[in-house]
Amino acid sequence: MEPLNTITGRAIDRKEPIKEFKNLEIRDDVIDKLGEKESDILDKIQDLYATQDMLERKFGDGCYKLNRLQRRIEWKLEEVEGLKQYLYELYEKPKIQIVKLHKAIHHHGSTMDLVKERQLFKQIKKARGEAIQVMMSPPKVRIRWGEIPDTKEDVKELIEVRLNEIEELRIKRMKYWEHGRLDFKKAAIEKKIAILKSKLENIRQMKVEASKTTT
């Protein structure tokens, strides 16, 4: 005959302690698994916060840097255009005028009267004189970084240098265009954090409920 419980008067079930022990094992296992999920979600939230900080450091002052880069690109483009105009005024324009006058003489050939021919030669002489004068007093060009080189080849080389610098600045500028998408990225991250926090709260509530269970 099974012994009686002194309080309830019912027979004591010898299997009850084993059942209770198993229930406690199940409960602890559930709590452990919930704890793992909780830890995993906390790690994800921390990673998202770290991403937010990284974006802020990387692109937070991007707008200012973007504007400054744009101004530098515009200045260098302005300088390149000035140097090209300088080359044209100093070397190309006078030569073009002289070549046109020589072509006029060759085109008309023997059909040109003496007076007309003399006039053209005078114009050629004048154009050459003007070309020399331009060489002596070259046009003024605004250069922000350094002096204008003395030779045509050096001016062309400077133009190439400036064009390479402009290309480098444009590549750099692309990095800061990301600033325009910063707000959208931050909003997306904040939404993910809110979802994870909601899941975290549910898991913690489930842990509390599980800890109350003993049988």
Domain segments of the chain as ranges: 16-212
SS3 track for 92-152: HHHHHHHHHHHHHHHHHHHHCCHHHHHHHHHHHHHHHHHHHHHHHCCCCCCCCCCCCCCCH
Q: Which residue has the higher pLDDT, 43 or 140?
A: 43
Average pLDDT value for residue range 193-211: 88
Q: What is the pLDDT of residues 109-166, one digit of tens each?
A: 545 555 565 665 566 566 656 655 555 555 555 555 566 777 788 888 988 998 999 9
Q: Among the ranges 5-19, 40-54, 199-213, which has the highest mean pLDDT value?
A: 40-54
- Whole-model pTM above 0.85? no
Class of domain 16-212: mainly alpha
pLDDT band at 196 (very low <50, low <70, confident <90, very high): very high
Average pLDDT, stretch 36-57? 87
Q: Which pLDDT does position 6 carry in this prediction?
A: 45
